[in-house]
Structure 1
Amino acid sequence: MKVTIKFFAGIAESVGKREHTIQVNQESTVKDILAVLIDEFPQAKDLIDKSMVSINHDFAKLDQKIIESDEIALIPPVSGGEEPLFEITNKPLSADQVIAKVSNNMAGAILTFVGTVREFTKGKKTTYLEYEAYPEMAIKKMKEIADEIKERWPDAKVAISHRIGKLDIEEISVIIAVATPHRNDAFEAGRYAIERLKQIVPIWKKEIWEDGEEWIGNQER
């Protein structure tokens, strides 16, 4: 089937058009569409990686399937700036998007930590988790962690994204990306970041089991 994607702002300038039609199969998803666009417009890869996709005027998830009648648009970052390095969000997280925030021409390594929801904890079967945060303070503490890392590893660049709300088993709860010129520094700084996040960032999770539930502070995980 054929689908048409609308382009705006910097992406439209980069590809030289406002719309583009591609051929995809009946089972294609948003992720598949993005892969095709990056292949056809490699010069716009960075912007495409940072963009959201809307389907029929609503933001879409990467695994959402496309149908031929959909109105699809690529939405680049708004407000004329880069995406924030630190965020608390109720939207699904993407490792590629967080990596793109720290990628730079001085980086010889990018260490990525991805925390996911596991099914069993201390012998108890988890049904799902609920995350809650004090967003303003959490962002401030994430920035403090990045500042601490910069003091120890001056060339490091850090990005942290944490999801809140209901998360099912295997969904991503947190992503930390650390870019450094050398791989040893990336490993050390990445471990430092996740341990400090557990210690000082005000995020809580409720573990919902088959036979009960309990709120747990971030430092207790």
Structure 2
Amino acid sequence: MNLHIQLFAGLVDLFGTTKLVVSLDQESITVAELKLKLTQDYPTASSLVATCFFAKNQAYAGDQDTLSASDEIALIPPVSGGQPSLYEITDTEIDITAVTSKVNHPNHGASLAFIGTTREMTFGQRTVLLEYEAYRPMALKMMATIGEEIASKWPGTLCAITHRLGRVDIAEASVVIAVSSPHRAACYDASRYAIERLKQIVPIWKKEIWEDGSEWKGSQTGPWNPLETPLTEY
């Protein structure tokens, strides 16, 4: 059986076609099974696919609805004003629950939230607050790249990143990275990969402000080279 799936908007750019053909041995498949197959067969598209809904014969279909070759099938990405992006930059306090909810998946048995907060004491020096600045459009693009890399390294794994800019006071969150995966090992590894890769390639800068001065902080783990290949130790 061949299913012909119509694609729209960003899905066309991602898959490079307006119609995706999926070959199956069986005569029918549930929506949930088809979505899982797409995330496994196209790991770099899994983050966006996870936010989409299927339409069957021009009506939204539930996870348990079955699809066959005779059906008119479409994969519908979030419409304007719908689900928020997996990758966001904000000037206000981060809603941690909202970020983690983006990676909820019925077939995932593990999820983690990494929360980076402003630390008061660093090597004996007292920080008053941090200030963040970013090259916004490129930062968002690089966050999406991290999600694609994670989906490729750990197929089926989802990642959402929100970073705050401006003033971030002591104990407040500057970044939240949510990851979910079918199994916990991939979830742990992908979470650590995401924060290390974020520091490597995302153009966001941190200014530490102390009681007696301030300093812009760059890479603190060795020479900075954003063109280096993705991390491989995970």
1:138 maps to 139
2:89 maps to 88
Structure 1 residue runs without a partner (length 5+): 1-76
Shift of 1:80: 3.4
> Structure 2 CA distance, aligned partners of 1:126 and 1:78?
42
2:214 maps to 213
Please report the TM-score for the alignment, with normalisation by the length of structure 2. 0.59
1:109 matches 2:99: no
> Structure 2 CA distance, aligned partners of 1:93 and 1:78?
23
1:47 maps to none
Residues 198 and 220, structure 1, Cα contact 8 Å, conserved in 2: no
Give a deviation string over 1:33-64, Cα, whole Å, max 9, x none: xxxxxxxxxxxxxxxxxxxxxxxxxxxxxxxx
Distance change in 2, residues 1:78/1:214 (3 Å): farther
Q: Which amino acid in 1 is paired with 2:146?
A: I
2:201 maps to 200
Q: Percent identity?
A: 56
Q: What's the Cα RMSD here?
A: 1.5
Helix, strand or coil for the counterpart of 1:220?
A: coil
Helix, strand or coil for the counterpart of 1:87?
A: strand
> Structure 2 CA distance, aligned partners of 1:156 and 1:100?
14
> Structure 2 CA distance, aligned partners of 1:110 and 1:207?
31
> Structure 1 CA distance, aligned partners of 2:148 and 2:196?
15
> Structure 1 CA distance, aligned partners of 2:215 and 2:169?
16
Structure 2 residue runs without a partner (length 5+): 1-77, 222-234
> Structure 1 CA distance, aligned partners of 2:112 and 2:172?
20
Distance change in 2, residues 1:147/1:170 (3 Å): same
1:153 matches 2:154: yes
Shift of 1:78: 9.0
Residues 109 and 182, structure 1, Cα contact 8 Å, conserved in 2: yes
> Structure 2 CA distance, aligned partners of 1:95 and 1:107?
19
Q: Which amino acid in 1 is paired with 2:138?
A: M
Shift of 1:205: 0.9
Shift of 1:212: 0.7
> Structure 2 CA distance, aligned partners of 1:90 and 1:98?
15
